[in-house]
């Protein structure tokens, strides 16, 4: 049974290649972080890159051990949620075994790879100057990355865009027919709920109001790009009444984070609607969600003044479906990709908050085709709202195209494209770029000693072979009793020329 599972895994992760040995990539769009040819790197470059990130929780270190032919992954012992990257870890290992079999066999040269499942690159750039006089190793970032125009913030570190970690379980299940613990099940099977369009209200019946509910979060605070901290205690607020609160917020509007700007605009809309006797509802309804609505928290003075910028009522998915306009206000990482996709799937239209950050699917969606773009500082939000109101047919067409796109994302064809693009084509670039050390000195023991000499302790995260991975912290075998099916990408040769020099 074990041998059969190994055979199925090899077939499952193998991707079709053409007669020249190249991965057949059905996606003609190249992610910005992958546009340039990968520079070669060594174990020393990997260590130097980790020194820059340490002691944050960001990167895991994956090592191919030449002697055993197995992959060992190490993490910082301080990482709390160790289960978060395990599906990514497993997918990387199995794709490397399946698609580069001659490169990863017992006796083949060693290999090192850095990857992260953090929301976004976890360097505190307000406290760190990045030296540029030596090489860095690439980091596969399974989360938000900075857009090309902002790359100087992380240069010269080659941060490589990969699908967000939460999507990997669905990629395994829906794209590869691989059912694993924590993979796209129950509440995480958001694809299914988003693409279920039965009994949704019609466009003509939707409430013509822009709606948003969310938490009070920071915004790209590690990069200190534009906005100052935006917590209530930092504001010189006069709490006499609703109007005085609004005037106070407007006086510091240019300092506010995007979500605070949104609730301020919403408060202004409410004040204006009240002045007109609420003959029409406010054009914008944006509120923070809190579990302590009646408590003495930072929002209490706002409520006492009648400025209702918070609520303890979470709008359920079915309730949000009744609104015509939605916005995906970005949070700490600079994006809100779950909101982006869930709101694109709704019968209303999305006002997409465009920032310095991006996620893996952003090149697949276009402004005024799948969403209405809104500037990072929200300066054009009212203007875009009025455009949508005066162009209902165009707005409805955008909504339909967005819903169709999210529905297409659930298909095996789309997810196969994602897998072959990121886990084979792009991953192959990293494999090709690595230069192992000659002379057999690149052993697990020597690598751990090198890190310890810099005060970095390496905890065994997992050890993996072609059948499964074993967690280092609890001994769990991953995947355990998985319903593994064979996903046939084709039987053509997928040999890769040896990368050692």
Question: pLDDT tens digits for 269-294?
Answer: 999 999 999 999 999 999 998 875 55
Distance between start and end Cα atoms, the chain = 39
124 and 179, same domain (yes or no): yes
* CATH assignment at residue 397: 3.40.50.2000
336 and 416, same domain (yes or no): no
Give the number of domains in the chain. Answer: 2
How far apart (Å, rounded) are the C-alpha atoms in residues 42 and 62?
13
Nearest alpha carbon to residue 456 among 84, 130, 57: 57
* pLDDT interval class at 57 (50, 70, 90): low
| Predicted local confidence at residue 226, as pLDDT | 47
Residue range 390-400, pLDDT digits in tens: 999 999 999 99
**What residues contact residue 483 under an 8 Å CB cut-off, 6+ apart?**
179
359 and 231, same domain (yes or no): yes
Strands (E), 117-199: 139-141, 145-146, 159-161, 178-179
* pLDDT interval class at 130 (50, 70, 90): low
315 and 283, same domain (yes or no): yes
Nearest alpha carbon to residue 178 among 463, 392, 479, 471: 479
Angle ∠(42,50,36) on CA atoms, nearest 5: 55
Burial class (CB in 10 A: 0-12, 13-18, 19+), 130: middle
Residue range 181-210, pLDDT digits in tens: 555 654 445 566 666 666 789 999 999 999
> Looking at 368, 389, 409, which one is the last position of a domain?
409
- In which domain, by residue range, is 139 found? 2-188+412-484
| Predicted local confidence at residue 137, as pLDDT | 93
102 and 236, same domain (yes or no): no
Looking at per-residue pLDDT, the higher value among 362 and 121 belongs to 362
Residue 6: which H helix or E strand, with range? helix 2-13
Percent above pLDDT 90 for the chain: 45
User: Does some domain include residue 111?
Assistant: yes
Residue 263: which H helix or E strand, with range? helix 258-275
User: Does some domain include residue 496?
Assistant: no
213 and 137, same domain (yes or no): no
User: Does some domain include residue 493?
Assistant: no
Across 245-277, b (16+ Cβ under 10 Å) vs e yields bbebbeebeebbbbbbbbbbbbbbbbbebeeee
40 and 171, same domain (yes or no): yes
Instruction: Enter the pTM of the model.
Output: 0.84
| Predicted local confidence at residue 164, as pLDDT | 86
Nearest alpha carbon to residue 388 among 203, 237, 253: 203
333 and 434, same domain (yes or no): no
User: Does some domain include residue 18?
Assistant: yes
CA-CA-CA-CA torsion for 337, 340, 345, 347, nearest 10 degrees? 160
Looking at per-residue pLDDT, the higher value among 324 and 166 belongs to 324
User: Does some domain include residue 352?
Assistant: yes
User: Does some domain include residue 489?
Assistant: no
User: Does some domain include residue 267?
Assistant: yes
| Predicted local confidence at residue 123, as pLDDT | 67
Mean predicted confidence (pLDDT) in 90-106: 94
Nearest alpha carbon to residue 223 among 159, 287, 164, 167: 159
User: Does some domain include residue 494?
Assistant: no
* pLDDT interval class at 23 (50, 70, 90): very low
Neighbours of 122 (CB within 10 A): 15
pLDDT at 59 over 60: yes
107 and 216, same domain (yes or no): no
56 and 87, same domain (yes or no): yes
Tokens of 46: 């990997």
26 and 169, same domain (yes or no): yes
Tokens of 432: 């090709």
Looking up tokens 């590869």 gives 176
Mean predicted confidence (pLDDT) in 399-403: 96
76 vs 47, 136, 139, 142, CA distance in Å?
13, 19, 16, 17
**What residues contact residue 147 under an 8 Å CB cut-off, 6+ apart?**
32, 355, 356, 357, 358
273 and 133, same domain (yes or no): no
Q: Contact, 158 vs 38, CB < 8 A?
A: yes
């Amino acid at each position: 049974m074990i041998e059969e599972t190994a055979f199925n895994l090899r077939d499952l992760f193998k991707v079709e290649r053409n007669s020249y040995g190249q991965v057949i990539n059905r996606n003609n769009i190249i992610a910005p972080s992958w546009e340039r040819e990968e520079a070669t790197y060594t174990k020393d470059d990997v260590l130097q890159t980790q020194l820059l990130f340490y002691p944050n929780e960001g990167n895991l270190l994956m090592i191919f051990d030449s002697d055993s032919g197995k992959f060992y992954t190490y993490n910082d012992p301080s990482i709390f949620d160790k289960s978060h990257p395990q599906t990514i870890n497993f997918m990387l290992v199995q794709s490397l075994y399946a698609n580069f079999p001659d490169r990863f066999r017992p006796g083949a040269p060693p290999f090192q790879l850095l990857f992260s499942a953090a929301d976004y690159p976890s360097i505190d750039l307000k406290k760190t100057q990045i030296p540029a006089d030596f090489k860095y190793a690439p980091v596969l970032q399974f989360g938000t990355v900075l857009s090309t125009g902002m790359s100087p913030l992380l240069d010269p570190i080659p941060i490589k865009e990969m699908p967000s970690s939460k999507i990997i379980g669905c990629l395994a299940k829906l794209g590869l027919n691989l059912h694993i613990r924590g993979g796209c099940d129950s509440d995480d099977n958001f694809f299914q709920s988003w693409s279920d369009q039965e009994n949704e209200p019609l466009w003509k019946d939707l409430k013509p109001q822009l709606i948003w509910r969310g938490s009070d979060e920071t915004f790209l605070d590690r990069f200190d790009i534009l906005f100052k901290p935006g917590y209530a205690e930092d504001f010189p607020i006069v709490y006499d009444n609703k109007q005085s609160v609004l005037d106070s917020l407007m006086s510091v509007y240019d300092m506010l984070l995007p979500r605070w700007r949104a609730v301020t605009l919403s408060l202004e809309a409410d004040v204006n609607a009240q002045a007109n006797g609420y003959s029409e509802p406010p054009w914008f309804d944006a509120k923070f969600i809190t579990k302590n609505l009646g408590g003495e928290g930072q929002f209490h003075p706002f409520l006492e003044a009648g400025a209702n910028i918070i609520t303890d009522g979470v709008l359920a998915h079915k309730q949000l479906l009744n609104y015509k306009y939605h916005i995906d206000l970005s949070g700490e990482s600079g994006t809100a990709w779950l909101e982006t996709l869930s709101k694109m799937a709704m019968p209303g239209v999305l006002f997409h908050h465009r920032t310095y950050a991006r996620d893996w699917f952003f090149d697949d969606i276009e402004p005024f085709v799948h969403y209405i773009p809104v500037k990072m500082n929200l300066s054009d939000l009212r203007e875009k709202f009025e455009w949508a109101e005066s162009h209902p047919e165009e707005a409805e067409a955008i909504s339909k195209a967005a819903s169709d796109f999210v529905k297409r994302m659930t298909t095996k064809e789309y997810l196969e494209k994602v897998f072959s693009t990121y886990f084979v084509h792009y991953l192959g670039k990293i494999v090709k770029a690595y230069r192992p050390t000659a002379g057999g000195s690149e052993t697990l023991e020597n690598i751990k000693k090198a890190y310890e000499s810099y005060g970095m302790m390496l905890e065994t995260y997992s050890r993996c072979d072609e059948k499964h991975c074993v967690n280092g912290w609890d001994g769990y075998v991953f995947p355990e009793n998985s319903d593994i099916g064979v996903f046939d990408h084709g039987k053509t040769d997928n040999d890769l020329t040896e990368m050692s020099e």
